[in-house]
Amino acid sequence: MFYALIGRDHPGTLEARLAARPAHLERLHALQAEGRLLLAGPLPAIDSHDPGPAGFVGSLVVAEFESLEAARAWADADPYVAAGVYAGVEIHPFRKVLPA
């Protein structure tokens, strides 16, 4: 089943986010290589593709996991969690409808 993982950044953690980004992306590339990643990306703090110093308010990952517990374990091991970027991560089951 797919799960939506919504990580919410602590304010003022842009520098920590940028430092942890390569390790974060490495894990996403691994999901993609396994055919389990539907989509992933950051949530800019302002209405801009490149928010600059305004940074981000979080991230969205939609990926396939065996269970809610497996999705939680994957999220808990994220480099953004270890770096103190995320204040928390919400996880919800996700049912893809479109595009078919």
pLDDT by residue (tens digit) across 49-81?
A: 999 999 999 999 999 999 999 999 999 999 999
Which pLDDT belongs to residue 58? 98
Which pLDDT belongs to residue 29? 98
Mean pLDDT, the chain, rounded, equals 97
- Mean pLDDT in residue range 33-57: 97
pLDDT cut 70: percent of the chain above it: 100
Tokens, residue 84: 């103190």
Which pLDDT belongs to residue 54? 97
Dist. CA 12–CA 92, nearest whole Å? 26
State the residue for tokens 């990580």: 7
pLDDT cut 90: percent of the chain above it: 99
The residues, any chain, with a CB within 8 Å of residue 45's CB and separated by 6 or more, are 51, 54, 55, 56, 57
Which pLDDT belongs to residue 15? 97
- Mean pLDDT in residue range 6-19: 97
Dist. CA 97–CA 32, nearest whole Å? 20
Query: Which of 63, 64, 65, 60 is CA-nearest to residue 90?
Result: 60
Which pLDDT belongs to residue 52? 96
Helix, strand counts (H, E) of the chain: 3, 4
State the residue for tokens 């204040």: 87
